[in-house]
Structure formats: C-alpha cells, structure tokens
Structure 1
C-alpha cells in the first residue's frame, strides 16, 4: 500500500517495541531512526486502510509506537 509493505512495517515496529520493552525503555540510535521512519510511513498508510486491513489494529500499533518514540531518550553517542 502506497509502496509500503505492511508485513515489514509491522515487523519493524514490533521489533522496536519489543527491544524497548526488553531494554528498560531504551533504544539505540539505529532503532530510534527505524521507529520514527516507520511511524511516518504508517501515518501515510493509515488513511488508505480498508476494513479488510483491520485499521483499528494499525491505529493501536501507531499509538503504541508513538508512545515508545515519545518516551525514548535520544542516545548521546
């Protein structure tokens, strides 16, 4: 959808959230970049989702990913 693979988008966001949970609320710089890029991509896709795409699930994933992004301090290195 819109040139964005939903399966990969889901896997990347879930991976970042899982890492954040397992690292006490911390992400390395690469994962922060991935998380923020994937959040932006999801924001592009959300308006185009149909009921068959389970939009509520994607909206909840967006909210979760955004909270993780907001709560993650930027690494100093």
Structure 2
C-alpha cells in the first residue's frame, strides 16, 4: 500500500519544521517515566530518517519503537505547561504517526 501524495507532503513539511526548530528549553531535562525527552525525539527522528531513506515501511523493530514513542508522547503532551514545548511535541507526534503509516495510533 503506497502513501498518498498528501501524506508524503505532510511528512516532508513536518520534517523540515522539525529540523529547523530548536529543541525547547523546558524539555531539556524533562522525562517520560524513566526516559529523557531528548531520547524520545532521537528515536522518532531516527525512524523518520530510516523511512525517508528507505522509501518503504519501517521494519518491525522500528515500528515497535515508533509505536512506543507515540504512546510516550500521548501520555506527556496533556501534562505540558509550556505552549512551545506542547507545540513541539505535537508536531513530533504528528510526524511519528505519519511515518508509522497507521493514523489510528495517534490516540489524540
């Protein structure tokens, strides 16, 4: 099953926004459970790069990792008090959901 042109364009746009935007100061020492936010970001970015480089679906290991990170973001976003951090994490979540190829995982 191939991605729609809209999905590809949305992924490209969000990826460019992600790459150009700074990591919010309020998230520098934030954690999800035992995991630092920067690691969640790093895992998602790695999956996005793999997806963009390969041009096909993620392998099962990366799909499981991405799903876990989507769940992390769905748990933490409602708890954020900084609008910049919230917007950043929501964009990261949108990107992760698009790359996962399963829009039903967004939970939001």
Deviation digits for residues 35-68 of structure 1 (CA, Å, limit 9, x no counterpart): 0111011111111112176210110110111011
The RMSD of aligned alpha carbons is 1.7
State the match for 1:41 in structure 2.
72
Question: Structure 2: where are the runs of 5+ without partners?
Answer: 1-30, 103-108
Report 1:1-77 matches (<5 A).
1-3=31-33, 4-51=35-82, 54-70=85-101
Moved more, 62-71 or 40-49: 62-71
Q: Runs of at least 4 residues of structure 1 off by over 6 A? A: none
Under a length normalisation based on structure 2, what TM-score does the superposition of the two structures give?
A: 0.59
Question: For 2:42 and 2:50, how far apart are their aligned partners in 1?
Answer: 12
Asked which structure has the greater CA Rg, the reply is 2
State the match for 1:75 in structure 2.
none
Equivalent pairs counted in the alignment come to 71
Does structure 1 conserve the Cα–Cα contact (< 8 Å) formed by 2:43 and 2:69? yes
Deviation digits for residues 1-60 of structure 1 (CA, Å, limit 9, x no counterpart): 341310110000110011100000321110000001110111111111121762101101
